[in-house]
Amino acid sequence: MTVTLTPAEWTSYETAHRNRVDALVAGHLERRRRRQAHPVEDFLFTYYPTRPNQLRVWHPGPGVRLLGATQYDGRRGYRYVGGAASVDPAEVERRADSIRWIRRLLGSTLDRQPQFGCFGLHEWAMVYRTSDVRHESWPLRLGSEGTDQVVESHKIACSHFDAFRFFTDPARPRNVLQPTRESQPQLEQGGCLHANMDLYKWASKLMPFAPSSLVLDCFELARDIRTLDMRASPYDLSALGYSPVPIETTAGKGEYAAAQRTFAERARPLRGRLVDLCDELLG
């Protein structure tokens, strides 16, 4: 079924979308203007490749025609035919292999039982026995020796390749799994904070086919998860107003796992919507 929107209709959606994006990116753009880095809030703009100006472009998704939307004429992923813009089936076909891979990963993750016993130790493994820390402007809450002791006294069970690849060399053998890009569809599971943050990455990769509302829902989830990720990390970010989740304690582990479950529940319907989108595109 195809829905046709008049200029008055789709421009109202476009304006609402841009207002939503502007509110989400304002802090980052202001810090960038001042050349001031933020270890928590800038992550979605520095780790993931989608830029704020790309987010501001409104995409309605497949099955929608935009009457008189000449600004989409010639934009990659669109065709302008009969006075209306819509998703270009030729671009979908060109990217079919990528869409299939994303669908396989998200579908297998959706079907897999989530796990809640990692306690965010991936961030600790990234600074284990090294002085070359990623956020060098911020102290380690327990110091280097205390941080190393936490790693050595826990079982590390990271299933996410893009977290594992940042482990220090001494930390890698301590992980009970050895994730690779090839094994990602077999290992990724819905309790993992990074797998759920990455829903934003996959939604972005599916642009312009992914509706912008879905992309921003994934963005907001990733933003909230990043906060927990860094509160549970070995860094002391109290000067920024972040209270620690001390995962080295029993209480901290309980707090982390409870938040992890909440995020898994928020992520599940978003992952399902992305799977449905892939199926629709590949239909």
Question: What percent of the chain is modeled with pLDDT above 90?
Answer: 97
Pairing mode, strands 64-67 and 3-5: parallel
Q: What is the DSSP string of 217-283?
A: HHHHHHHHHHHHHHHTSSB--GGGT-----TTSHHHHHHHHHHHHHHHHHHHHHHHHHHHHHHHHH-
Dump pLDDT digits (tens) for 188-230: 999 999 999 999 999 999 999 999 999 999 999 999 999 999 9
Distance of CA 244 to the CA centre of its chain: 22
pLDDT at 78 over 90: yes
Contacts of 271 (CB under 8 A, 6+ apart): 106, 109, 110, 190, 199
Cα separation, 112 vs 209, whole angstroms: 26
Domain count, the chain: 1
% of the chain surpassing 70 pLDDT: 100
Residue 204, CA atoms < 13 Å, CB-side half-sphere: 22
Give the whole-angstrom CA distance, residue 82 versus residue 155.
61
**Band of pLDDT at residue 170, cut at 50, 70 and 90:** very high
Does 266 score more than 90 pLDDT?
yes
pLDDT tens digits, 81-105: 999 999 999 999 999 999 999 999 9
Each residue's pLDDT tens digit, 104-163: 999 999 999 999 999 999 999 999 999 888 888 899 999 999 999 999 999 999 999 999
Structural domain harbouring 195: 3-282
Diameter of the chain by CA atoms? Answer: 67
Quote the pLDDT of residue 23: 97
Question: CA-to-CA distance for 242 and 166, rounded, in angstroms?
Answer: 23
| Eight-class DSSP state of 133 | -
What is the structure's pLDDT at 19?
98
Pairing state between β 78-81 and 84-87: antiparallel
User: What is the Cα gyration radius of the chain?
Assistant: 21
The Cα 85–Cα 61 span in angstroms is 11
Position 175 confidence tier, pLDDT thresholds 50, 70, 90: very high
